[in-house]
Amino acid sequence: MPPMRSSRREFLAGVAGAAALAPAALRGRAEQAQGVAPWDRAAEILRRIVPPRFPSRHFEITRFGAVGDGKADSSAAIRRAIATCHAAGGGSVVVPAGRFLTGGIRLASGVNLHLAAEATLAFSSDARKYLPLVLTRFEGTELMNYAPFIYALEAENIAITGTGTLDGQAHAGAWWNWRGEGPAAQSQQAAARNRLLEMGARGVPVKERVFGAGHWLRPNFIQPYRSRNVLIEGVTIVNSPMWEINPVLCQNVTVRNVSVSSHGPNNDGCDPESCRDVLIDGCTFDTGDDCIALKSGRNNDGRRLNTPIENVIIRNCTMKDGHGGVVIGSEISGGARNIFAEQCRMDSPRLDRALRIKTNSVRGGIVEGVYMRGVTVGQVAEAVVTIDFFYEEGDAGPFPPIVRDVEVRTVTSTKSKYGLLLKGYAKDPITDVRLIDCRFDGVAEGDVIEAVRDLVRTNVVVNGTAITDRISR
């Protein structure tokens, strides 16, 4: 399969094509008036999400010189296997049983990186193995930085599949210490991060935002960038430097039956950014940060690209440790809409929240059309539902966020500090939040509801007391 030839402008126009349409909440009301319910929209989205298929050609990396002893560097062999597979018109690059040490891997169109049972790709902790610098994002801002461990740029029909393991080999002495295990690393990363944010604020061209060596900005694990028809299925991911699965500006993405276990700093499980038509299905997350976090760029950089995260289906997932189960934000300046989560299980004393929306008036963004149903929560440390306009910088900018049309239906929990933790701005309240047929037991401190207009609870039972009401405050 030949590489994609569409220009960056054409691709972004495709991803952002819906941006000029009417807001999702307005569309939703019109559709409901015509008898189209929100979950009917979810069914239509699902019909569009079709995983890529690959020719039955197989290129085992050991044929190209890879050695599965956990010591020999197989990077060059994997590159040759991918190049050969791509040139042949696509197929599967197969990692057989064994432990294969590698540096960065770059997927090409038509390539399925397949990990057989008992296969492990172990990624080097030598940052030089992730050069040359590539176009990427660090916490929602574009830059030139170390390549993510598995990266693709403007590729089509790509996959990572199988039952093997991707081991980032990150720990307190490698990668994680870049964030701040020690004052030198902390101060250096903070300086680089602030410099990048300042570049984004000034609109410095991305090609001039050159970081890499000496800047301590960790790469993410898996990042297809501006790509179409992406599948990540079956693999286990452990010990990532930072975010684990991070498709950016992609269309038609399926993440299915993946297990993520990584408890380092900023170790989010799955973070689609500014993507359209995404399915996250049957996955297990046990993470050091958010399990699933939906994002669309940070501050001026997110507004520059102006591409929301939209049309996302999350279902049948298990969330263990993490800051939140299903999270929207905080890098959400491009907005979010048409988000559906159902039939998930969340339970851990180290899981802070079930549904969380986090933003502020520096980041802004419009979040609308968020629907959750049939989710079973054992215990969470903070709240079942959190919407917070005071995240990090708080009300310190000129971009008041908008959150509206949020529905939580048939969600149960057994233990939490709060049921609801909703904090908007008095001048800019959260609007149109609906809870229907929910049961929250073991709520220690009730609810926090500040600056919310049209909070409607219908047949909601909290600590055994039935509530049906409408609140505006």
Task: Provide the pairing of β-strand 91-95 with 222-225.
Answer: unpaired
Q: How far apart are CA 173 and CA 150, in angstroms?
A: 22
d(CA 301, CA 299): 5
| Residues recognised as catalytic | 289, 323
- Token code pair at residue 421: 């933790």
| Alpha-carbon dihedral sign for residues 317, 319, 322, 327 | positive
* DSSP notation for 43-88: HHHHHH-------S-EEEGGGGT---EEEEE-HHHHHHHHHHHHHT
In one-letter notation, the amino acid at residue 375 is: V
* Residues belonging to the chain: 473
What does the block give as tokens for 293?
């976090």
For residue 389, the surrounding DSSP H or E stretch is: none
Q: How many CA atoms lie within 13 A of 95 on its CB side?
A: 34
C-alpha 63/C-alpha 417 separation (Å) is 56
Angle at 355 between CA 353 and CA 281, to 5 degrees: 110
Place of tokens 């990990």: 115
Residues 6+ apart with CB under 8 A from 311: 45, 48, 276, 277, 278, 337, 338
Helix, strand, or coil (residue 244): coil
SS3 345: strand
